[in-house]
Amino acid sequence: MMREEFARLEQSLARVPVGCLAVERHAGEDGPTPFPSGLRAQVDGRGAVGVYQPLPGVQVCLWRFAASRVDFAPAAPGPILAVTHCRLGRVVWDPGENAPGELDPGELALGHPGKEGLALRFPLESFQGASILLSPEALEHDCSPFPGLGSEVVERLLAHLPPSHSAATFPGDPDAACIFDPLYRAPPAHLSPLCALKVQELLLWLARLAPDPARLTPYRAQQERVIRDIHHLLTTHLDRRFTIQELSRRYLINTTSLKQRFKAAYGLPIAAYMKRYRVRRAAQLLLDSDVRIADVASQVGYETQGKFTQAFQDVLGQSPSQYRKQRLAQPNPFPGNIPDGPSPSF
């Protein structure tokens, strides 16, 4: 399914010249705008964006990229709150001295567009998402659906956000999904009025965040702590087999993020990492000649000696009995060169 989505996205950009970002502006509110009149960017593939201004002080950008990187020119100088949603692919931004950010499907980021330009990377070479830009100054002058509320909410959130180019990232939220998902499915003729409706819903959603600035704590750091906790659980209970679904429920992290974050931190998928970890721990236990190989297999989580032997062969290239015989024949059999596993790359 995901591969088909990527193929459809790439096909939709087939007419865009390589190296170009096609900008399609749609009729909206007239009058002055705090946003730049032109989007200038360098793309190493193809990109397109539909731009809507459903209300004064609000701009909606619907992004599509078949590229691995895009570099944006400096944005508007005034205070702007950018709310970005990822539908497909993954986007990573590097803010220099600040902590890098990353969005996976369903996640949201709140941040400043920045004045110095911004470089985005797409590790999967495809991305579809939406950004809603909110100017508190313009909203204060005219935001008829929410008189005064829009600007106050945006200003309060801007005051608690990380520095420019950094962002507060949030996991998938059913209410946020209801705001953004229809924007990707609507017929072109319906998008302008739909954007106006969805911006009003977004302002109400943001109003729930504003009273509690603590919720703007970067979500990524929370995920890293969760991944460390999961690693500790897995490696201290080798005799147990935890499923991805069980870990997801236990640590309140969706299965896709769990698998992606673990691999990013430890270099291997969970199953491959734990296979290697179990075998290397077994290699240490085998140096005690009084312990039966079947007992070692049980201690590191293998129900049968046959499955254990196959896994051991896969990782270390020899059977447990061969390994034990070879190591015990050496003057110093204790393997200081068999680490438990790689350290996390957080």
**Lowest mean pLDDT, pick from 13-22, 67-76, 114-123, 244-253:** 114-123
Tokens standing for 73? 């020119």
Choose between 109 and 184: higher pLDDT: 184
Q: Which of 339, 188, 318 is nearest to 276 (CA)?
A: 339
As a whole number of angstroms, the distance between CA 183 and CA 50 comes to 11
Q: What is the largest CA-CA distance in the chain?
A: 85
Residue 145 is predicted with a pLDDT of 53
Residue 104 is predicted with a pLDDT of 80
Segment 25-65, tens digit of pLDDT? 886 655 445 455 556 788 999 999 999 988 877 889 999 99
pLDDT bracket for residue 15 (50, 70, 90): very high
Residue 131 has pLDDT above 90, yes or no: yes
Residue 335 has pLDDT above 90, yes or no: no
Max avg pLDDT among 94-108, 147-161, 257-271: 257-271
Domains along the chain? 2-217 (2.60.120.280), 222-328 (1.10.10.60)
Q: What is the mean pLDDT of residues 326-345?
A: 58
Residue 302 is predicted with a pLDDT of 94
Choose between 292 and 261: higher pLDDT: 292
Choose between 39 and 306: higher pLDDT: 306
Q: Annotate the chain with three-state secondary structure.
A: CHHHHHHHHHHHCCCCCCCEEEEEECCCCCCCCCCCCCCCEEECCEEEEEEECCCCCEEEEEEEEECCEEEECCCCCCCCEEEEEEEEECEEECCCCCCCEEECCCCEEEECCCCCCEEEECCCCCEEEEEEEECHHHHHHCCCCCCCHHHHHHHHHHHHCCCCCCEEEECCCHHHHHHHHHHHHCCHHHHHHHHHHHHHHHHHHHHHHCCCHHHHCCHHHHHHHHHHHHHHHHHHCCCCCCCHHHHHHHHCCCHHHHHHHHHHHHCCCHHHHHHHHHHHHHHHHCCCCCCCHHHHHHHCCCCCHHHHHHHHHHHHCCCHHHHHHHHHCCCCCCCCCCCCCCCCCC
Tokens standing for 226? 């969760």
Tokens standing for 184? 């990707």
Strands 46-52 and 58-66, sheet pairing: antiparallel
Residue 63 is predicted with a pLDDT of 94
Q: What is the mean pLDDT of residues 302-307?
A: 92
Mean pLDDT (the chain, rounded): 79
Residue 185 has pLDDT above 70, yes or no: yes
Choose between 59 and 165: higher pLDDT: 59
Residue 147 is predicted with a pLDDT of 53
**Lowest mean pLDDT, pick from 125-129, 172-176, 337-341:** 337-341
Residue 35 is predicted with a pLDDT of 54
Residue 346 has pLDDT above 60, yes or no: no
Q: What is the mean pLDDT of residues 313-336?
A: 81
Q: What is the mean pLDDT of residues 85-113?
A: 74
